Chains A and B, each alone.
Chain A
Amino acid sequence: DGGITQSPKYLFRKEGQNVTLSCEQNLNHDAMYWYRQDPGQGLRLIYYSQIVNDFQKGDIAEGYSVSREKKESFPLTVTSAQKNPTAFYLCASSILNPGEQFFGPGTRLTVL
């Protein structure tokens, strides 16, 4: 089955802790993206990557970091510098940028 996987579905962390969200795709897509969605809100771009070992900041990159060491993987770290980290995090990928984006199921992060 081809697709994008994100794990875990729900994640709880204490304030002040860094946390890494996983995103893996087996679609052979070059471009990958991380979005944040707050209740009743649209999708805001955190980071995106068009090729391995390269990535660009989106609109709300502060307090987040990413890496793209492999084509299939684009992990997102939510650092303690992110002031309001509780949100729904969506990973997506596409063949082209921009092209049809395929989204993973998302991770709901709650920071207590």
Chain B
Amino acid sequence: GQQVMQIPQYQHVQEGEDFTTYCNSSTTLSNIQWYKQRPGGHPVFLIQLVKSGEVKKQKRLTFQFGEAKKNSSLHITATQTTDVGTYFCGWGETSGSRLTFGEGTQLTVNP
């Protein structure tokens, strides 16, 4: 069956360091979305990727969808304390299907 792993589960960085979280699937995905949840808050949509090899940037954030549509990553350059939170990937197995979410990567940033 479908298996998607999100790694790492936790990441502690010094402010200014880079950060990357990955979602890796055993099968091809239709699409993938990324969300951020601040401590005590609710998830907020960041991006959706649907095309093979797609790369999208939002300021210091870079999102990638692998060529085989089995892997995705979120990379933050030069982290800031405002980046603290848990980052979730959510994937659709087929077009029009519901999302399934990963367990998230909890990022802490030491000032």
- Name A's B-contacting residues (CB within 8 A): 33, 35, 40-45, 48, 56, 58-59, 90, 92, 96-106
Contact = CB atoms under 8 A, between A and B. Distances in A.
A82 B44 CA distance: 28
Contacts of B48: 99-100
Main secondary structure of the interface of B (DSSP, over half): strand
Given A45-B100, A58-B98, A100 B43 contact: no
Main secondary structure of the interface of A (DSSP, over half): loop
B15 interface: no
Interface of B: 6, 31, 33, 35, 41-45, 48, 88, 90, 92, 96-104, 106
A98 B42 contact: no
Given A42-B88, A42-B104, A43-B88, A101 B42 contact: no
9 contacts: A43-B101, A45-B98, A45-B100, A48-B98, A98-B98, A101-B33, A101-B35, A103-B44, A105-B42
Given A42-B104, A45-B98, A90 B88 contact: no
A42 B103 contact: yes
